[in-house]
Chain A
Amino acid sequence: MRADQILHPTPQGLYCPPGDFHIDPTRPVARALITHGHADHARAGHGSVLATQQTLDIMAIRYGEDFAGQVQPADGPIRIGDVTVSFHPAGHILGSAQIAVTPDHGPKIVVSGDYSRTPSPTCAPFEPVPCDVFVTEATFGLPVFKHPDPAVEMARLLASMTEFPERPHLIGAYSLGKAQRVIALARAAGIDAPIAIHGAMQRLCDYHIEQGIDLGPLIPATADQVPAQLVIAPQSAFSTAWVQRFRDPVIGFASGWMAVRARARQNGVELPLVISDHVDWPQVTQTIRDLFPAEVWITHGTEDGLLRWCELNGFPARPLRLVGYEDEPE
């Protein structure tokens, strides 16, 4: 079988005919394999869902227990139709996985989903899986994206908290994954005081703690007076009246996009923090070099840059132009 007979793009998402399943479908399908719990990859309403136990738990928290007809936790190689699938850590968020699809005869394909090679206390590290076709994102697929060491960004946050001790620091972070990554990084940087979290991320933080991730003391950022200098909230909260309880706050935002000043300005941010849970340019190009696949397929992002790099470096590559995935959720 050729690679595009094993996996090809459809309006619902990537489809595998010999196994009759979709990977990260953006519309309801009979059988879905899901890489991770971000809303653009994990949607409710599928007939059955195969994913890591943590991704299934996260989907239940976000959509309710009945988010799918049937669920099955991924554990070891699983035979589906005429292919074997297996899940491998992607280093993106808690529970995130790459999905390897191995046919009996033909090329092995790894769909990496969203992934990162920057170590995070919140999830297992990316595991390189040798393959013939590597399916990659290109969220930060331009050579300007070289994310700094997160510890350096944390040092900048700490410096600002020291420089402006009377001002609360409100850091925008996506509720699932980024928020917990930022909290864990803050702990690693030596911030021991209680960190306040917006109500929208309470249950997801609780779940991380249940899974054994040390987030330290967290308090809700809901009272009129929030006794914490560091507050984590989804970016969307900054345009609501919720912010008004804070006196003269420093508004920050944790995102890979903050590396570009114009992006930071659009968001009205005073303290841009370049903290990402996606591969940056050196990581994505190094991963392709490491795996040395016969072919590279690019799902979403700034694929033109990565296509050009593959061309310059002799990797046959093609864009899948999958629609429905966000750049990096904000």
Chain B
Amino acid sequence: MKPFATLLERLAFTPARNAKLRLLRHYLDSTPDPDRGYALAALTGDLKLRSVTPSLLRGLVAERVDAQLFTLSYDFVGDLAETIALIWDSEADEDIPLHQAVDLLQSTGKSGLPAAITALLDRLGASQRLAFLKLATGNMRVGLSARMARMALADMGGPPVAEIEEIWHGLTPPYQPLFDWIAGGARPENAAKAPFRPVMLSTPTDLDQLRALDPTEHIAEWKWDGIRVLAINDGGIRRLYSRTGEDISTAFPDLIEALNFDGTVDGELLVRRGAEIASFNDLQQRLNRKTVSRAMLASHPAGLRVYDLMIWQGRDLRDLPLSARRALLDAADFGSDRIDASPVLDFTTWDDLAALRASPPNPVIEGVMIKRRDSAYVAGRPRGPWFKWKRDPMVVDAVLLYAQRGHGKRSGFYSDFTFGLWDGADLVTVGKAYFGFTDEELRQLDRFVRQNTTDRFGPVRAVKPELVLEVAFEGLNASSRHKSGVAMRFPRISRIRWDKPAAEADRLETLKAMIG
């Protein structure tokens, strides 16, 4: 478990995604089965273990450490598992395989658990104790998604990530067949029904680039502002996956119930009330909930607008040209009024399409999609066959209030910017942006921050409220978590307004009025 403890510690302190991936891949390369599989599952939250309660742990340490010394220490350290790992008085530092720790937590009965944990803690060094206690309390918090885990697996030199994603949901920890496959063995039989299939993604475009293309070779459709999903009914097994392969079925029981067809379809998850498509803000209310109340199901019903058919009535259509798939889609019966096909747009020239894009019939439309008629359905983001032409972003002029030092390639630069808008005579924080600017602009912003610092809090500096930033964003949600009452989607700094006095920056009312 030493390598696992080291990995956990490095991941916890490594902010950059690529560096995290490299750490994980090196761990997977150098760790034997089944430990690496259990580690992967622990990191992505897929390892189901008996969860050890904080009170059990407090009881264990109370038998070993003076209560007053423990309290003083816990106050200082601030985290229970970490305090116990550090304070535990044992000189041992055995390297116990991770699977033994997993086995202990999976198979020890409730009454035997305290003694078993104590005995194990006595054999481990401090960093392994912490790793074990994090495992036992189910609290890894190292910022590693299942998607990143699969990318690290693909980096091991075996099958590409799209193929790993196809079989992922049929596998269970410690994923022995998967590692065998990566090492050159046979592809695991995909036992699970309704597996995830990687979706096809588009690349951004604009009118200039489109002019080089022949409009007659393309179809266009609206780009809906919901959540891109894969909806499946595979012989009665129904599932909803996000486009990154997370199973989100439990959050949308109403839509699951409506999947009365036989196939795997690619579409946009939306809140829809009859014919009306509700805003992303409404959809937001349904996200990240483990259980959905009956009232929420009634007031925010989920629906699906289908873009494409991947598998339909037992037939894999992905190698067919889009025009053939589209013909089947237009004729398809989805068996529910919550589900329909996304309509194709009628246009002859790119200027026609530009006009449609400029005045969409519904605020939930965030641009147009343009797809080659002959395109097969390919996993990933191939350059060329599919384009997205998003509507112009919304912008506000905001005042720079705080800046935080960046990491990795931006080390030493103040690169994360918090900005605000006027509310009466005060500036209220409305968001944070850390991209949109060029390297040269970053240097200029960094200089401004250093020369106008009014206060410091660790890596954060408050600055004189003098610099106006034009902030572009894709949408707005009402938010009770933000003091301003609104949250921006994908905010970025589109221009630095060195010319504009802060007093002329926008007001909070202006922003609130933009909520769609």
Question: Could you tell me the distance between the alpha carbons of A266 and B78 in the complex, rounded to whole angstroms?
Answer: 13
Q: Whole-angstrom distance from the CB of A36 to the nearest CB of chain B?
A: 26
Whether A309 and B69, one on each chain, are in contact in the complex, defined by CB atoms closer than 8 angstroms, is: yes
Question: Could you tell me the distance between the alpha carbons of A270 and B407 in the complex, rounded to whole angstroms?
Answer: 9
Question: Could you tell me the distance between the alpha carbons of A270 and B411 in the complex, rounded to whole angstroms?
Answer: 11
Please indicate the chain A residues that have their CB under 8 angstroms from the CB of B408 in the complex: 248
Question: Could you tell me the distance between the alpha carbons of A308 and B87 in the complex, rounded to whole angstroms?
Answer: 15
Nearest A residue to B86, CB-CB:
A144
A270-B450 contact given A156-B6, A308-B66, CB 8 Å threshold? no
When the two chains form the complex, which single residue of B66, B72, B73, B413 contacts A244, counting CB atoms closer than 8 Å?
A: B413
Number of interface residues of B (CB under 8 A): 37
Whether B68 and A163, one on each chain, are in contact in the complex, defined by CB atoms closer than 8 angstroms, is: no
A239-B405 contact given A143-B73, A264-B13, A308-B72, CB 8 Å threshold? yes
Q: Whole-angstrom distance from the CB of A198 to the nearest CB of chain B?
A: 13
Interface positions, chain B 79-124, Cβ under 8 Å from A, are 79, 82-83, 86-87, 89
Nearest A residue to B410, CB-CB:
A248
A241-B412 contact given A269-B13, A305-B69, CB 8 Å threshold? yes
Whether B412 and A146, one on each chain, are in contact in the complex, defined by CB atoms closer than 8 angstroms, is: no
Please indicate the chain A residues that have their CB under 8 angstroms from the CB of B69 in the complex: 142-143, 305, 308-309
Whether A247 and B409, one on each chain, are in contact in the complex, defined by CB atoms closer than 8 angstroms, is: yes
Please indicate the chain A residues that have their CB under 8 angstroms from the CB of B234 in the complex: none
Interface positions, chain A 233-270, Cβ under 8 Å from B, are 238-244, 246-249, 251, 259-262, 264-270
Comparing B19-27, B207-215, B307-315, B389-397, the segment that makes contact with chain A is B19-27
Question: Could you tell me the distance between the alpha carbons of A145 and B65 in the complex, rounded to whole angstroms?
Answer: 14
Whether B412 and A272, one on each chain, are in contact in the complex, defined by CB atoms closer than 8 angstroms, is: no
Q: Whole-angstrom distance from the CB of A261 to the nearest CB of chain B?
A: 6
A142-B22 contact given A248-B408, A268-B458, CB 8 Å threshold? no
B498 proximal to A (CB < 8 A): no
Please indicate the chain B residues that have their CB under 8 angstroms from the CB of A309 in the complex: 69
Question: Could you tell me the distance between the alpha carbons of A143 and B411 in the complex, rounded to whole angstroms?
Answer: 34
When the two chains form the complex, which single residue of B6, B86, B450, B458 contacts A266, counting CB atoms closer than 8 Å?
A: B458
Q: Whole-angstrom distance from the CB of B403 to the nearest CB of chain A?
A: 12
Q: Whole-angstrom distance from the CB of B8 to the nearest CB of chain A?
A: 11
Q: Whole-angstrom distance from the CB of A13 to the nearest CB of chain B?
A: 26
Whether B405 and A248, one on each chain, are in contact in the complex, defined by CB atoms closer than 8 angstroms, is: no
Whether A268 and B459, one on each chain, are in contact in the complex, defined by CB atoms closer than 8 angstroms, is: yes
A144-B450 contact given A246-B412, A248-B411, CB 8 Å threshold? no
B77 proximal to A (CB < 8 A): yes
Whether A143 and B87, one on each chain, are in contact in the complex, defined by CB atoms closer than 8 angstroms, is: yes
Please indicate the chain A residues that have their CB under 8 angstroms from the CB of B22 in the complex: 163-164
A164-B19 contact given A246-B412, A268-B459, CB 8 Å threshold? yes
B515 proximal to A (CB < 8 A): no
The contact string, 1 if C-beta is below 8 Å from chain A, for chain B 469-495, is: 000000000000000000000000000
B446 proximal to A (CB < 8 A): yes
Question: Could you tell me the distance between the alpha carbons of A277 and B235 in the complex, rounded to whole angstroms?
Answer: 67
Whether A261 and B458, one on each chain, are in contact in the complex, defined by CB atoms closer than 8 angstroms, is: no
Whether A142 and B13, one on each chain, are in contact in the complex, defined by CB atoms closer than 8 angstroms, is: no
A213 proximal to B (CB < 8 A): no
B463 proximal to A (CB < 8 A): no
Q: Whole-angstrom distance from the CB of B446 to the nearest CB of chain A?
A: 7
Question: Could you tell me the distance between the alpha carbons of A160 and B446 in the complex, rounded to whole angstroms?
Answer: 28
Question: Could you tell me the distance between the alpha carbons of A65 and B379 in the complex, rounded to whole angstroms?
Answer: 72
Please indicate the chain B residues that have their CB under 8 angstroms from the CB of A270 in the complex: 13-15, 407
Question: Could you tell me the distance between the alpha carbons of A240 and B412 in the complex, rounded to whole angstroms?
Answer: 7
Please indicate the chain B residues that have their CB under 8 angstroms from the CB of A304 in the complex: 72
A261-B405 contact given A144-B87, A244-B413, A305-B69, CB 8 Å threshold? no
Nearest B residue to A262, CB-CB:
B78
Whether A144 and B77, one on each chain, are in contact in the complex, defined by CB atoms closer than 8 angstroms, is: yes
Number of interface residues of A (CB under 8 A): 43
Please indicate the chain B residues that have their CB under 8 angstroms from the CB of A259 in the complex: 86
Please indicate the chain A residues that have their CB under 8 angstroms from the CB of B89 in the complex: 143
Q: Whole-angstrom distance from the CB of A291 to the nearest CB of chain B?
A: 21
A271-B13 contact given A248-B411, A308-B69, CB 8 Å threshold? yes
Question: Could you tell me the distance between the alpha carbons of A138 and B141 in the complex, rounded to whole angstroms?
Answer: 32
The contact string, 1 if C-beta is below 8 Å from chain A, for chain B 1-30, is: 000001000101111000100110010000
The contact string, 1 if C-beta is below 8 Å from chain A, for chain B 289-320, is: 00000000000000000000000000000000
A142-B76 contact given A163-B23, A264-B13, CB 8 Å threshold? yes
B126 proximal to A (CB < 8 A): yes
Whether A144 and B412, one on each chain, are in contact in the complex, defined by CB atoms closer than 8 angstroms, is: no
Pick from A143, A159, A247 the residue with the most CB of B within 10 Å: A143
When the two chains form the complex, which single residue of B65, B72, B405, B413 contacts A302, counting CB atoms closer than 8 Å?
A: B72
When the two chains form the complex, which single residue of A238, A241, A262 contacts B446, counting CB atoms closer than 8 Å?
A: A241
Please indicate the chain B residues that have their CB under 8 angstroms from the CB of A312 in the complex: 66
A308-B68 contact given A146-B126, A238-B412, CB 8 Å threshold? yes
Whether B83 and A144, one on each chain, are in contact in the complex, defined by CB atoms closer than 8 angstroms, is: yes
A216 proximal to B (CB < 8 A): no
Question: Could you tell me the distance between the alpha carbons of A246 and B412 in the complex, rounded to whole angstroms?
Answer: 9
Whether A242 and B412, one on each chain, are in contact in the complex, defined by CB atoms closer than 8 angstroms, is: yes
A144-B73 contact given A156-B6, A241-B446, CB 8 Å threshold? yes
A148 proximal to B (CB < 8 A): yes
Pick from A262, A268, A308 the residue with the most CB of B within 10 Å: A268
Chain B: residues with CB nearer than 8 A to chain A?
6, 10, 12-15, 19, 22-23, 26, 65-66, 68-69, 72-73, 76-79, 82-83, 86-87, 89, 126, 405, 407-409, 411-413, 446, 450, 458-459
28 A/B residue pairs, CB under 8 Å, sorted by A:
A142-B73, A142-B76, A143-B73, A144-B73, A144-B83, A144-B87, A145-B86, A146-B86, A148-B126, A156-B6, A170-B411, A238-B412, A240-B412, A244-B411, A244-B446, A247-B409, A248-B411, A261-B82, A262-B77, A262-B78, A264-B13, A270-B13, A271-B13, A272-B13, A302-B76, A304-B72, A305-B72, A308-B68
Chain A: residues with CB nearer than 8 A to chain B?
142-146, 148, 156, 159-160, 163-164, 170, 238-244, 246-249, 251, 259-262, 264-272, 302, 304-305, 308-309, 312
Pairs of residues from A and B, 9 with the lowest C-beta to C-beta distance, nearest first: A243-B412, A144-B86, A244-B412, A268-B459, A144-B73, A248-B409, A142-B73, A249-B411, A262-B78
* Inter-chain pairs besides A142-B76, A143-B73, 6 sampled, C-beta below 8 Å: A144-B87, A160-B10, A251-B411, A268-B458, A272-B13, A304-B72
